[in-house]
Amino acid sequence: MPSGEAQIGNAGQSEREASTEAAMEEPTAAQVKERGLYRSFGLTDDEYERIVSLLGRQPGYVETGIFSVMWSEHCSYKSSRKVLRRFPTAGPQVLQGPGENAGIVDIGDGLAVAFKIESHNHPTAIEPYQGAATGVGGIIRDVFTMGARPVALLNSLRFGALDQARNRYLFAQSVAGIGGYGNCIGIPTVGGEVVFDERYDHNPLVNAMCVGLIEHGQIATGTASGVGNPVLVVGAKTGRDGIHGATFASAEDPHAKERSAVQVGDPFMEKLLLEACLELIATGKVVGIQDMGAAGLTSSSAEMASRAGSGLTLDVSRVPCREAAMTPYEIMLSESQERMLVVMTKGEEHVAQEVFQKWGLEASVIGTVTDDGLLRIREGDRVAAEIPVTALVDEAPVLDRPATRPPYLDELLAEPKLTEPEDYGQDLLRLLARPTIASKEWVYRQYDSMVRTETFVRPGSDAAVIGVPGTRKALALTTDGNGRHVYLDPYAGGARAVAEAARNLVCSGARPLAVTDCLNYGNPEKPEVFYQFEQSAAGMSAACETLRTPVISGNVSFYNESHGVDIYPTPVVGMVGLIEDLALITTSEWKGAGHDVYVLGALSDSAGSRSRLGGSEYLAMRDPANALRYAPPPLDLDAEAALQRLCAEAIRRRLIVSAHDVSDGGMLTAFAECAAAGDLGADLNLAGDGQALMSLCFGEGTSQIVVEVEPANAAALEDLAAQLTVSAVRCGMTNSDGALRVSAAGRAIVNIDVAALRESWQGAIASWMQ
Amino acid sequence: MRCAVVQFPGSNCDMDAVKAINHAIGESADIVWHTVASLEAYDLIILPGGFAYGDYLRAGAIARFSAVMEAVAHEAERGKWVMGICNGFQVLTEGGLLPGALRRNESLQFRSEIATLEVVNAETAFTRHYRAGETIRIPIAHGEGNYYADEQTLLRMRERGQIVFRYAREHNPNGSVDDIAGVINERGNVLGMMPHPERAVHERLGSADGARLFTAIFESWREAYAKR
């Protein structure tokens, strides 16, 4: 089947070049098999045979390309699907669970919140600015595709240690790319986290989350139904960028990947696309709409048809292209950004064209919905591909990956033996200057966190808080994850990520609603990596059940490794909570002198003596060579739930004026953060000495919250805690003399000016980046 | 008072300006698309923040050729109040309605924070509700806010009270010459500033100091209206 157009403009290329990038003459179905071309697309021999039997013939070149991206790990979730099915996804608040572009939960008043998190790790490893920027662009599209107005962005980031120039480059450029996209499009970046560890050397993690607001009646979905309805491609033109991005995201070594597979973002275009799509959806003439993300036109069309049980006939010669002589293969696999696929009601095409024209964008009819269940790709009169949609989506391979418990887990020791510091204060200052613990101001001051004028708690507190316009309600938003803890105890680590996210929301005055998860792991073909994946997902599920926060959307990123070393298993939890009234918004910084400081949650584990230092940042600082040899403390989900109930109820009764959860860095770090952010000191007392005291000060046992209480409310807080059977220990009082003083059993262990704490904490990352 | 907020493709603080006007002075404001040829109906014209046309060339360099900019210049000439915030300020300098230029921040990084400003001239129609020398807190969020004007222009601007806001000493976030954060034209009816007063109209946003800009212009309008 010769294709006249495809040859124009490629005449000068050698045949060899052409055969690698699908220009020139398209190889025949027989050649695809004989030359094993499918292997270079990432399909295995078994998968190729499966395609032959599904089709009842050999797939052509374009068809092979389509199968290869649809069956890639990235699009098919073939390794993870069975595990993901076990997540709890139901709840009275859930309006849209997993399977759509984003999940949606109800917040009352006829309003709902749409949100999702997604990874862009592999592109970022190669081209950090564009990789991170297009990660943001993609997740924004997922949210406005649902008909929601995007109102906030968050990012969960991991990089290698900052003493390596390459890591500083990846970090600086990723942050610039995230800012460049979010700032331009005018959606505030309000929160997130950044962690540095050598396990992320050369394989950074960039997980972007977007949150949108929507009225119940405006929810749009990615379905292509109604025979004869027109299918339109809208937004940017299609170019040759990002071809096979989805496949590369499913391959091991980012350095073997091609820069050309990384897309280039245009936030201005996306701003126009966003406004045009929301305007279009509001007309009520849209049948279905879907973002063209990974695998571009291929996956968007197949998924839309699959959801509706329909078929689609598309003519690629009608797709507006940025470059001349693009082949059907290139058009189907392009990952050019800022495009959407829209199905309109028949006869209403002009509505889309009018709206898009106003915004200076194109809306081109490229095909129609059919009822034959086929994805049929034409190029003019020629049929370039014809595949049953079920073969692409439902028949995609689902793998039973073997899982083996890694031996290191059974070799972990119970309690690190560290010499007790002479001066806990000096260790605290060093700990605060660790980039993972330090203030992330250097990062978030590059993000516009205030546009839309609804940001009531800006970056830096436990969770960001944004207002819901037209109501007294607000949303609390957070992302959390701790790869080292998951590595050391996959099940508890997974549960902990959920628990910490929920705790952060509760500390902000919110009721946690639901979870979006971004599951970042190494090579799933390694049974030990798959074990980490399975176990941590099980732990997350358990915590989601206990805390009643179903998973409503998410994403899996495998093959995060380089030079043969897998990253820590790093599930990241994005969570959204509802604050019923603006007056309940609570932040972490200390508010006034002479207030009582309490720690809610047990100061020692039920076992009594178990150290919390395993897995801690303090241990990584004191004894880096042995940081991965000790078991982290256990997590008691029921105790966690009780603690969160207490904090939520105390906020509801207005008993506390600030709340901050104890997490990375431990309790002294939590005290220091409350002090530095509030510019207030405190005089505090702890119990114990030796290993127990170090564990109390620097351990990361979690299930603890530092709260500040006006003395008149102290008794009421203690009563409430007793009633809910949660420990509440008064540790001392905030002061007005600008020093944080901590003593233990009569011995002064910390005595530092708040200004000095702040200098260590605030200046650390900037000093690396100068 | 009839208020227009001009919307260029890529504007993103347009709705914030509308909200702020509504919140601070209880007036409504129309969003006006960049193709509109006349702004005759309006008393106050706001060019909002954002990234008009993506700002891929130089901030404001393309937007200033929009059809609406002729109308803005025309109304400014007629003495209407025009206020450019952030990207709007950049458009006004590019269009020659205000002196000087805005370069990339000295750090080459975008900078977003609540900035501390000094009110230098509290006698303009926009700033009459502040006290001269008063310190106020207004958010900034920009990558190209590094104000520049040559020495002669600066001298002239100082003499005529055209420097309206400065960043607090030692807290210049972008390298602006003379710590300049906001300027006004000689006639006193066209204001441009990098900080975002519309983001500081109630305490939950971290500061309410921006509200007085809107109340001031509202009072100025009422007085002018009474005279007519």
- The predicted-structure confidence for A621-670, as pLDDT tens digits, reads as follows 999 999 999 999 999 999 999 999 999 999 999 999 999 999 999 999 99
Report yes or no: A183 at the B interface, CB cutoff 8 Å: yes
Please give, rounded to a whole number of angstroms, the shortest distance from the CA of B84 to a CA of chain A: 16
**B197 → chain A, closest CA residue:** A453
B198 neighbourhood in chain A, CB within 8 Å:
453
Mutant choice from A173, A273, A442, A450 vs B, greatest count of B C-beta within 10 A:
A450
How many A/B residue pairs have CB atoms within 8 Å?
Answer: 80
Assess whether B86 carries a catalytic annotation: yes
Mutant choice from B7, B8, B12 vs A, greatest count of A C-beta within 10 A:
B12
Contacting A with CB below 8 Å, chain B residues are 9-10, 12-13, 15-16, 19-20, 49-51, 53-56, 109-113, 139, 141, 143, 196, 198-199, 201, 204-206
A455 neighbourhood in chain B, CB within 8 Å:
205
- Closest in B12, B15, B139 to A185, CB measured: B12
CB pair distance less than 8 Å for A452 and B15: yes
A467 neighbourhood in chain B, CB within 8 Å:
204
**B113 → chain A, closest CA residue:** A445
What whole-number distance in Å separates Cα of residue A430 and Cα of residue A148? 44
- Closest in A271, A451, A456 to B16, CB measured: A451
Assess whether B202 carries a catalytic annotation: no
B16 neighbourhood in chain A, CB within 8 Å:
451-453
Q: Quote ipTM for the complex.
A: 0.96
Residue with tokens 């393309």, as numbered in its chain: B62
Looking at residue A259, what is its pLDDT?
53
Q: Which residues 6+ apart lie within 8 Å of A205 measured at CB?
A: A119, A121, A156, A157, A158, A520, A557, A560, A567, A570, A572
CB pair distance less than 8 Å for A456 and B51: no
Mutant choice from B5, B35, B36, B112 vs A, greatest count of A C-beta within 10 A:
B112
Mutant choice from A175, A178, A453 vs B, greatest count of B C-beta within 10 A:
A453
Looking at residue A83, what is its pLDDT?
95
Using alpha carbons, select from B117, B32, B122 the residue that is nearest to residue B82.
Answer: B32
H or E element at residue A572:
strand A570-579
pLDDT along chain A (770 residues), means of 10: 32 36 72 92 94 96 94 91 96 95 96 97 93 95 96 98 96 97 97 96 96 95 95 93 64 52 86 96 95 89 95 97 92 91 96 95 96 96 96 94 97 91 96 97 97 96 95 98 97 97 98 98 96 98 98 95 90 98 97 98 64 92 96 93 98 98 95 97 92 92 92 98 96 97 94 97 94
CA angle at A664 for the pair A158 and A734, rounded to the nearest 5°: 135
The domain ranges of chain B are 3-227
What whole-number distance in Å separates Cα of residue A65 and Cα of residue A109? 46
CATH code for B3-227?
A: 3.40.50.880
* Strand A511-520 relative to strand A570-579, pairing: antiparallel
Report yes or no: A271 at the B interface, CB cutoff 8 Å: yes
CB pair distance less than 8 Å for B12 and A453: no
What whole-number distance in Å separates Cα of residue A191 and Cα of residue B199? 18
Looking at residue A577, what is its pLDDT?
98
Distances in Å between the Cα of A499 and the Cα atoms of A106, A503, A639, A698 are 21, 6, 11, 19
- Strands in B29-160 per DSSP E: 29-33, 44-47, 81-85, 101-103, 111-119, 135-142, 146-148
> DSSP letter string over A476-523?
EEEEE--HHHHHH-HHHHHHHHHHHHHHHHHHTT-EEEEEEEEEE-S-
Catalytic residue among B3, B34, B86, B94: B86
- Helix A490-507 × helix A637-652 angle, to 10°: 0
Please give, rounded to a whole number of angstroms, the shortest distance from the CA of B45 to a CA of chain A: 20
H or E element at residue A16:
helix A15-21
Please give, rounded to a whole number of angstroms, the shortest distance from the CA of A351 to a CA of chain B: 19
CB pair distance less than 8 Å for A446 and B16: no
Looking at residue B227, what is its pLDDT?
83
What whole-number distance in Å separates Cα of residue A494 and Cα of residue A581? 31
CB pair distance less than 8 Å for A186 and B13: yes
At A453, give phi and psi (nearest 5°). 45, 45
Q: Give per-residue pLDDT as tens, A5-29.
A: 333 233 333 333 333 444 457 899 9
B51 neighbourhood in chain A, CB within 8 Å:
183-184, 186, 267-268, 271
A278 neighbourhood in chain B, CB within 8 Å:
none
CB pair distance less than 8 Å for A456 and B50: no
Q: Is the dihedral of CA B67, B72, B73, B75 positive or negative?
A: positive
Distances in Å between the Cα of A394 and the Cα atoms of A232, A250, A271, A391, B139 are 24, 19, 34, 6, 51
In the numeric block, which tokens belong to residue B182? 């906001």
Q: Give per-residue pLDDT as tens, A310-363.
A: 999 999 999 999 999 899 999 999 988 899 999 999 999 999 999 999 999 999
Q: Judge contact between A601 and A707, C-beta under 8 A.
A: no
What whole-number distance in Å separates Cα of residue B15 and Cα of residue B196? 13
B20 neighbourhood in chain A, CB within 8 Å:
453
Q: Judge contact between B103 and B71, C-beta under 8 A.
A: no
**A770 → chain B, closest CA residue:** B107
**Strands of A205-215's sheet, edge to edge?**
A94-96, A103-108, A111-119, A205-215, A149-159, A189-196
Q: Judge contact between B46 and B83, C-beta under 8 A.
A: yes
Q: Give per-residue pLDDT as tens, A360-397.
A: 999 999 999 999 999 999 999 999 999 999 999 999 99
Q: Which residues 6+ apart lie within 8 Å of B154 measured at CB?
A: B177, B178
CB pair distance less than 8 Å for B51 and A449: no
Please give, rounded to a whole number of angstroms, the shortest distance from the CA of B114 to a CA of chain A: 9
Write the single-letter amino acid at B172.
N
Please give, rounded to a whole number of angstroms, the shortest distance from the CA of A158 to a CA of chain B: 21
Looking at residue A22, what is its pLDDT?
43
In the numeric block, which tokens belong to residue A533? 């994946």
3-state percent breakdown (helix, strand, coil) of chain B, nearest 5? 30, 25, 40
CB pair distance less than 8 Å for A180 and B110: yes
CB pair distance less than 8 Å for B20 and A453: yes
Please give, rounded to a whole number of angstroms, the shortest distance from the CA of B55 to a CA of chain A: 8
H or E element at residue A213:
strand A205-215
Instruction: Walk along chain B (228 residues) and give the pLDDT tens digit of each residue.
Output: 999 999 999 999 999 999 999 999 999 999 999 999 999 999 999 999 999 999 998 999 999 999 999 999 999 999 999 999 999 999 999 999 999 999 999 999 999 999 999 999 999 999 999 999 999 999 999 999 999 999 999 999 999 999 999 999 999 999 999 999 999 999 999 999 999 999 999 999 999 999 999 999 999 999 998 887
- Closest in A186, A450, A453 to B50, CB measured: A186
3-state percent breakdown (helix, strand, coil) of chain A, nearest 5? 40, 25, 35
Write the single-letter amino acid at A360.
G
Report yes or no: A176 at the B interface, CB cutoff 8 Å: yes
- Range 415-454 of A in CB contact (< 8 A) with B: 444-453
- Dihedral of the alpha carbons of A312, A318, A319, A323, in degrees to the nearest 10: 150
- Closest in A271, A360, A453 to B16, CB measured: A453
Please give, rounded to a whole number of angstroms, the shortest distance from the CA of B121 to a CA of chain A: 27
Q: Which residues 6+ apart lie within 8 Å of A500 measured at CB?
A: A480, A482, A573, A661, A663, A702
